[in-house]
């Protein structure tokens, strides 16, 4: 594994040199350096380095002339809220350190530094990164930021709201947070709130007493109780009814639940992680989601980018799924150059879930020792039949015209940075026609609540004559 990059910040040269010597002297099992260390003599120098390089960890003194460690922490949070920061401080500054921990610092070390404690604290941060790397497959800058955020938020008990399109892997993010947290040896319980009707969901989450309703033949613990001391993942939280929202809010605020048919509050120590692909802000505005619950859930937001926005991850994920599912094959199977090209160039509207399904299907259909383009799902092959110089070639099995049209529109919008005018020109459409098609397919700008066409109408003026 490549050495982790650490930025050491201290205005005392002797201290910087000692830290660099200790950290770079740590070797892994192969005799390679575990850490690559760069130093900065001030907060300002650190910010300059941070803007030009990616660091896995920042180790900074608290008391420095000019910009101190707290100010640096705040500035780094603005630049990249995900990178873990360890503070070094004198014994008399514990109250300040507590403030820093609330502000997002990963941990702190007291001066004079103890070598063993220093290495153990850095190793703790790195081991959490390793655990996250094993759970989350991806090498793109966007996913590296997500991984760093997981490491940063894992030690706390704060509620996390995981946002992203369907199929982006929100539950894997939740499991990674749990595995990198102090609750790793306790239960991780997941529930899909959209898959259970309201009455059953209340019993599932909070439990019920014997005889509380027809069929309640015995008392039952709810998931809040079962996950006590552990983690509870509420998937599809945007689908919960308003009456259930009120009950969830109370459970989060009071850290206690009352079983259906019961009167005795039961204290629980549960870290709640929630996920949704819905626009909760718009739902709050429309009165469909409680504002107080939204803020209670959205203490720490994590946004998972769609696969089309992190194309560097497509090949890594493809290889991972090939290895994962090839165990069911009786022979080694590889991707042909044609199939790999189709996979890398497709827009993947279903994200990681769709990619895994396509690979699993192709492995089952492949007749020789190689997956060909014909083994891939039709929607992936259809896009390839739009040729730059030869026009459109209709495949023998036919096409889904709407899926093809939607895919082309998505590709044009991605290529132009979601500029409707330039996208229309790429497709030979008028501005108004492009708007119509965006609304027709419900295509929305990533991470925004309004439709692309609505937003672009505010940002772009249609060309004259349109």
Q: Does the structure show a pLDDT above 60 at 321?
A: yes
Residues 231-248: tens digit of each pLDDT = 999 999 999 999 999 999
- What are the tokens at 59? 């180790």
Dist CA 68 CA 342 (whole Å): 51
pTM: 0.73
Tally of CB atoms within 10 A around 343: 22
Contacts of 2 (CB under 8 A, 6+ apart): none
Q: Which residue has the higher pLDDT, 363 or 454?
A: 363
Please tell me the predicted confidence (pLDDT) of residue 399. Answer: 62
Nearest to 152 by CA among 211, 73, 91: 73
Query: Taking 60 as the threshold, does the pLDDT of residue 393 lie above it?
Result: no
CA 88 to CA 97: how far, in whole Å? 9
pLDDT reported for residue 395: 59
Higher-pLDDT residue of 452 and 34 is 34
Q: Angle at Cα 102 formed by Cα 126 and Cα 271, nearest 5°?
A: 75
Domains and CATH numbers, the chain: 4-134 (3.40.50.2300), 156-303 (3.40.50.300), 307-392 (1.10.8.60), 408-459 (no CATH)
* pLDDT score for 457: 42
Report the 3 state secondary structure along 318-383. Answer: HHHHHHHHHHHCCCCCEECHHHHHHHHHCCCCCHHHHHHHHHHHHHHHCCCCEECHHHCCHHHHHH
Report whether pLDDT(392) > 70.
no
> DSSP label at 449?
S
pLDDT tens, position by position, 141-161: 899 999 999 998 998 899 999
For strands 271-276 and 231-235, give the pairing. Answer: parallel
**Higher per-residue pLDDT: 15 or 396:** 15
What pLDDT is recorded for position 202? 94
Give the tens place of pLDDT for each residue, 96-111. 777 777 777 888 898 8
How far apart are the C-alpha atoms of 97 and 105, rounded to whole Å? Answer: 9
Whether the Cβ atoms of residue 304 and residue 162 lie closer than 8 Å to each other: yes
**312 Cβ neighbours under 8 A, 6+ residues apart:** 138, 139, 140, 141
pLDDT, residue 463, reads 59
**pLDDT, mean of residues 321-345:** 86
Residue listed under structure tokens 């929202």: 245
% of residues, the chain, pLDDT over 90: 56
Tell me which of 452 and 4 has the higher pLDDT.
4
Q: For residue 127, what is the DSSP state?
A: H
Mean pLDDT of the chain: 87
Instruction: Give residue-wise pLDDT tens across range 79-99.
Output: 866 789 999 987 666 677 777
At 91 the pLDDT is 63
Rounded distance, CA 251 to CA 257, Å? 5
Rounded CA-CA distance 3/37 in Å is 9
Residue 448 pLDDT > 60: no
Exposure on the CB side of residue 365, measured as CA atoms within 13 A: 15
CB atoms within 10 A of CB 87: 24
- Which 8-state DSSP code applies to residue 33? B
What percent of the chain is modeled with pLDDT above 70?
Answer: 90
The answer to whether the beta carbons of residues 208 and 264 sit under 8 Å apart is: no
């Amino acid at each position: 594994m490549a050495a982790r990059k650490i930025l050491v910040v201290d205005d005392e040269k002797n201290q910087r040199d000692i830290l660099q010597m200790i950290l770079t002297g740590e070797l892994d099992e192969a005799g390679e350096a575990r850490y690559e260390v760069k130093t900065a003599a001030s907060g300002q120098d650190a910010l300059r380095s941070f803007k030009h390089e990616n660091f896995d960890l920042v180790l900074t003194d608290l008391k420095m002339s000019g910009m101190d460690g707290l100010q640096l922490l705040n500035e780094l949070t603005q630049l990249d809220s995900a990178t873990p920061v360890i503070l070094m401080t004198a014994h008399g500054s514990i109250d300040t350190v507590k403030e820093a921990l609330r502000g997002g610092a990963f941990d702190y070390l007291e001066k004079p530094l103890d070598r063993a404690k220093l290495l153990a604290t850095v190793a703790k941060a790195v081991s959490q990164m390793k655990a996250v790397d094993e759970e989350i497959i991806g090498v793109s800058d966007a996913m590296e930021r997500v991984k760093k955020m997981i490491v940063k938020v894992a030690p706390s008990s704060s509620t996390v709201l995981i946002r992203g399109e369907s199929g982006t892997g929100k539950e894997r993010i939740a499991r990674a947070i749990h595995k990198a947290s102090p609750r790793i040896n306790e239960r991780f319980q997941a529930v899909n709130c959209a898959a259970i009707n309201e009455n059953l969901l209340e019993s599932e989450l909070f439990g019920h007493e014997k005889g509380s309703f027809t069929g309640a033949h015995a008392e039952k613990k709810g998931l809040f109780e079962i996950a006590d001391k552990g983690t509870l993942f509420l998937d599809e939280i945007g689908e919960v009814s308003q009456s259930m929202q009120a009950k969830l809010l109370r459970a989060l605020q009071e850290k206690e639940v009352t079983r259906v048919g019961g009167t005795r509050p039961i204290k629980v120590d549960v870290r709640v992680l929630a996920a949704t692909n819905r626009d909760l802000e718009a739902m709050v505005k429309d009165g469909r989601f409680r504002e107080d619950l939204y803020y209670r859930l959205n203490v720490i937001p994590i946004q998972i980018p769609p696969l089309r926005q992190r194309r560097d991850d497509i090949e890594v994920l493809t290889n991972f799924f090939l290895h994962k599912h090839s165990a069911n094959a009786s022979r080694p199977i590889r991707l042909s150059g044609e199939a790999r090209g189709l996979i890398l160039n497709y827009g993947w509207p279903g994200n990681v879930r769709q990619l895994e399904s396509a690979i699993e299907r192709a492995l089952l259909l492949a007749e020789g020792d190689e997956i060909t383009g014909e083994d891939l799902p039709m929607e992936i092959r259809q896009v390839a039949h739009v040729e730059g110089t030869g026009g459109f070639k209709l495949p023998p099995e036919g096409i889904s015209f709407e899926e093809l049209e939607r895919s082309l529109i998505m590709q044009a919008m991605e290529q132009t940075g979601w500029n409707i005018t330039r996208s229309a020109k790429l497709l030979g459409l008028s501005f108004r026609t492009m708007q119509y098609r965006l609304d027709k397919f419900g295509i929305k700008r990533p991470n925004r609540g309004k439709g692309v066409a609505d937003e672009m109408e505010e940002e772009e003026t249609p060309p004259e004559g349109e």
